[in-house]
Chain A
């Protein structure tokens, strides 16, 4: 695959090694998707990478990164009302942001079709929780398809699109982290671009009602509930659920990637249980499950995260008077973490010790201890300079610091300990405001990134002004959405499709009426510390814009230029007094500490930015 964009638009049948996120985009192309929206969040950004590999002029659909997940969902919904097949994708917790709009979708006629692609994160690999978004499916009466691997991502997306178009209702495609990132060879069908594209806006109130108010809500809700029965039938007729018949009295019900763990654990096992792999866990396929229960003596439900299926299956068995023994979750650990092959082995061994052997135990005391390696801010990161400087400006022991989502979240770690409480995107100003109430003794400092400022940060700032909260907000401005792979945001001066007018954050703050705005480059550590002192002395709401471009992105771009010459700092060992401010307080990963206490610069990591030089009391860091 020399060129991903060309591959995704291949006309003839072909197969290629792709990750789940890439397979999804081929599904979008084949299904005739017309509008795609997103807000970046792991594990989904590579979907956008695949989309962007197709030059805009050749892209068979419109794509945008919206301001946040709620807006992204609304844009996709709006496009669907005009008759366009639309798709929105974002990470697990993105659905919380989108929820206010999302829960309405199934009440309304999405005439073009609407697929909501979720990147759920069992194992909390890159999220602040491992929430099980199947609950949202139940709450909003939205059917949910769960692919297990890249091949199913591709086929299930096409099923979801077709089903959504046929029903004029939203469908969720729920991927999980290791489904998004799994790679395998996938066989794709051919694709013929439509000869004529009809973009006539088909919005018509007669397709509605589109105003879910008062008595109108009830018929809409009835229709959504009735629709679920038709969906169940559709999935049955399309034979999407899979029954693996091992001629056993024991059965196992599962879905998604857990199924792959099950098959691996059962490889080589003599008395395998039968397996029912559900393509769509909600609405629960009552016929398929009742048949499975009726034909097995004992059925284990193997369900990652929460027990939504288990409760429904037990209720079904109760209602139908089925006497099959149903084995659900055991201890609390069954609710926690990803169902990897190891975890599935543990659970199945506990369930059926005669069938599945335990995993090989490793005695921890036999292992040589290896220092943990938490994620770090990159060498040269402007956030490091900001935390280092701000820490010096805070009164000893008396301050409360509030984190937000972004690379700067990492400031909570040693040695900075900046940002001691974290909720979600844009929450820091609100949380900080609450921490100021009835509190005259401990100043409050909140941190917020620039992409997050636009995403969900503004309401908290408006509230702080409106209700006169006394806190200092530090805007960590690096000009990009760095954590998820450097997507542009509203202040970047370009969007995913080209240059646009930047929305300057400072002018937004001024327009809101923020009276006290301080601003400097974070590499000017002394000045930043002084501005922080001034801001904290004000006893009213203030904003410190601590800006420095993302140095990972900057260095990457510099390296592409001809004549690029790598730069480094070094330690003047004559001058070094082993005070260790560089390695212990500033703590750039480029510094190494030898067992004898001497410090050196690791040239594999140093980018020569020199932001560390000012931190050495003896001036031993030199170019």
Chain B
């Protein structure tokens, strides 16, 4: 198959690392040759956190070139738009959790906050399919990543990945009440 590139972005503390690892392992269970890389370091202090996942036999580096992602997964509105503009190919797919964690410039009053209209306008012009996820009844905002994962699954946004692949991946990485709560959310949400 042609390589399939997934670019994940969000803010430090949102659980990008876990989301990346679940997708990577689910893809592996689905039989894809899969590579990934996370950015760490300074990013974890409320800065931008990014992961790349690449599927396909012909892939060598885990780093996705600009505008070559087939799917961008954003866990925050500003990062979703930033990721889609820089990394997503024309006609690709954006799935994002619509929460707003204001960047410094917005809080200081020097920059404008990104609106849903900004995001949808920019994506519409490039023929990008947008899936907005927003679940106000989540018991813990740290589970927004799993709500997005559920959407990726329900909409079939990654080729070849079935329910069982996701659940096995989650079972690899989580245990106890964490696993139960996340697996339940994964199966109910979407």
| A interface residue numbers (CB < 8 A to B) | 1-2, 17, 19, 42-43, 46, 125-126, 149, 177-178, 181-185, 257, 259-261, 263-264, 267, 340-342, 345, 359-360, 362, 367-378, 407, 410, 413-415, 483, 580, 583-584, 587, 589, 591-593, 595, 602-605
| B interface residue numbers (CB < 8 A to A) | 11-12, 21, 24-25, 28, 34-48, 58-67, 78-79, 81-82, 85-86, 99-109, 111-114, 118-119, 121-122, 141, 171-173, 175
Residue of B nearest to A589 (CB): B46
Q: Which residues of A contact B121 (CB under 8 A)?
A: 368
Selected from A177, A178, A184, A414, the residue in CB contact (under 8 A) with B108 is A414
Selected from A126, A264, A368, the residue in CB contact (under 8 A) with B118 is A368
Most buried by B among A342, A362, A376: A376
A17-B24, A178-B62, A370-B85 known; A362 vs B67 contact (CB < 8 Å): yes
Q: Which residues of B contact A373 (CB under 8 A)?
A: 11, 46-48, 78-79, 103-104
Contact between A42 and B41, CB atoms less than 8 A apart: yes
Contact between B65 and A341, CB atoms less than 8 A apart: yes
Q: Which residues of A contact B21 (CB under 8 A)?
A: 183
A368-B118, A373-B78, A595-B113 known; A362 vs B101 contact (CB < 8 Å): no
Q: How far is the CB of A208 from chain B (nearest CB, A)?
A: 41
Contact between A370 and B61, CB atoms less than 8 A apart: no
Most buried by B among A184, A407, A587: A184
| 9 tightest Cβ-Cβ pairs between the two chains A and B | A126-B41, A375-B47, A376-B46, A260-B61, A371-B111, A263-B60, A42-B41, A371-B103, A373-B103
Contact between A345 and B65, CB atoms less than 8 A apart: yes
Q: Which residues of A contact B85 (CB under 8 A)?
A: 367-368, 370
Q: Do most interface residues of chain A lie in helix, strand or loop, or is the interface mixed? A: loop
Q: Which residues of B contact A19 (CB under 8 A)?
A: 38
Q: Can you list 7 A-B pairs with a CB-CB distance of less than 8 A?
A: A42-B40, A149-B35, A264-B61, A370-B81, A374-B103, A604-B101, A604-B141
CA distance A143 to B45 in the complex (A): 36
Q: Which residues of B contact A591 (CB under 8 A)?
A: 107
Contact between B107 and A589, CB atoms less than 8 A apart: yes
Q: Which residues of A contact B24 (CB under 8 A)?
A: 17, 183
CA distance A370 to B80 in the complex (A): 10
Q: Which residues of A contact B114 (CB under 8 A)?
A: 368, 370-371
Q: Which residues of B contact A605 (CB under 8 A)?
A: 101
Contact between A413 and B104, CB atoms less than 8 A apart: yes
A375-B46, A592-B102 known; A370 vs B82 contact (CB < 8 Å): yes
Q: How far is the CB of B82 from chain A (nearest CB, A)?
A: 5
Q: Which residues of B contact A126 (CB under 8 A)?
A: 40-43
Q: Which residues of B contact A183 (CB under 8 A)?
A: 21, 24, 35-38, 62
A371-B78, A587-B104, A589-B46 known; A261 vs B62 contact (CB < 8 Å): no
Contact between A181 and B39, CB atoms less than 8 A apart: yes
Q: Which residues of B contact A2 (CB under 8 A)?
A: 171-172, 175
Selected from A181, A407, A593, the residue in CB contact (under 8 A) with B107 is A593
Most buried by B among A257, A259, A372, A378: A372
Residue of A nearest to B42 (CB): A375
Residue of A nearest to B122 (CB): A368
Contact between B61 and A257, CB atoms less than 8 A apart: yes
Q: How far is the CB of A318 from chain B (nearest CB, A)?
A: 33
Q: How far is the CB of A519 from chain B (nearest CB, A)?
A: 26
Contact between B40 and A181, CB atoms less than 8 A apart: yes
